[in-house]
Amino acid sequence: MKPADRIELFTRFKAANPKPVTELEYQTPFELLAAVLLSAQATDRSVNAATRVLFAAARTPSAILALGVEGLEPYLRTIGLYRSKTKHLIETCAILVQTHGGEVPRDRAALEALPGVGRKTANVVLNTAFGEPTMAVDTHIFRVSNRLKLALGRTPRTVEDGLMRAIPPDFLVDAHHWLILHGRYICKARKPECWRCPVSDLCPFRPKTPDPQTADAPSTRASVKASRPTTPASRRRVQSES
């Protein structure tokens, strides 16, 4: 994508959503970290449903650590892979309490050292909780970046590095949210809703999905075929001769 088109792309995203935010519910950096850790292979909706109840009972590393695995597990049963996530969250809370004074570190290496926290989760926390210009590439951002040819790549890290180079600096802090929301609600995997895409004219992806409300009517041939008489040919011939 040309530099001028990249600026136009994010100018439109910003005009449509000036202050984008994550759809995960949280109030503190720790709550965000916990929510993102739990969101792997799960929907934001299912994570929010679980954390609303959990955070009402325990919302700090020390409080969750006090629950222990047996006490925490019931809060997370509705989330996929809840057993491993329970274990990771308890271990993460222990490290935060013992090593970081119960606070979430603002450092990539320290974040990625936490159980269940990889590069993507660290990027989300650094960006959303601390306002760092990072790019967490999930399945939506990976798809959108390749379709737009904003950053081409076969791996999340390749796309991440490409996006960090391609996105104009003035838009970089919010770009993660704009791209993920665009992929989640418009540029969908199976059937992108191109007819309502605000950047369709900048996107080289083909074929464009037409608006289902204005799709072409059945062909004339089909209409004529449907209107033909169903009377057998022999009977039509007899009728015409009589």
Structure tokens at 41: 């292979």
CA 48 distance to own-chain centroid: 15
Enter the tokens of residue 193.
């809703």
From 138, 170, 211, 225, active-site residue: 138
Decide: 54 and 75 in contact? Cβ < 8 Å.
yes
Which residue is associated with the tokens 């439109």?
12
Told to judge if 120 belongs to the known catalytic residues of this protein, a careful annotator would answer yes
- From the list 14, 44, 120, 174, the catalytic residue is 120
Give 2's Cβ-side CA count (13 Å radius). Answer: 5
Distance CA 39, CA 79 (A): 8
- 196: region left, alpha or beta (phi > 0 left; psi from -120 to 50 alpha): alpha
* Tokens, residue 19: 């202050």
Whether 5 is a known active-site residue: answer: no
Q: Are the C-beta atoms of 205 and 37 separated by less than 8 Å?
A: no
Measured CA to CA in angstroms, residue 99 lies from 79, 94, 119, 183, 188 at distances of 28, 8, 20, 37, 41
User: How big is the chain, counted in residues?
Assistant: 242
Catalytic positions are 120, 138
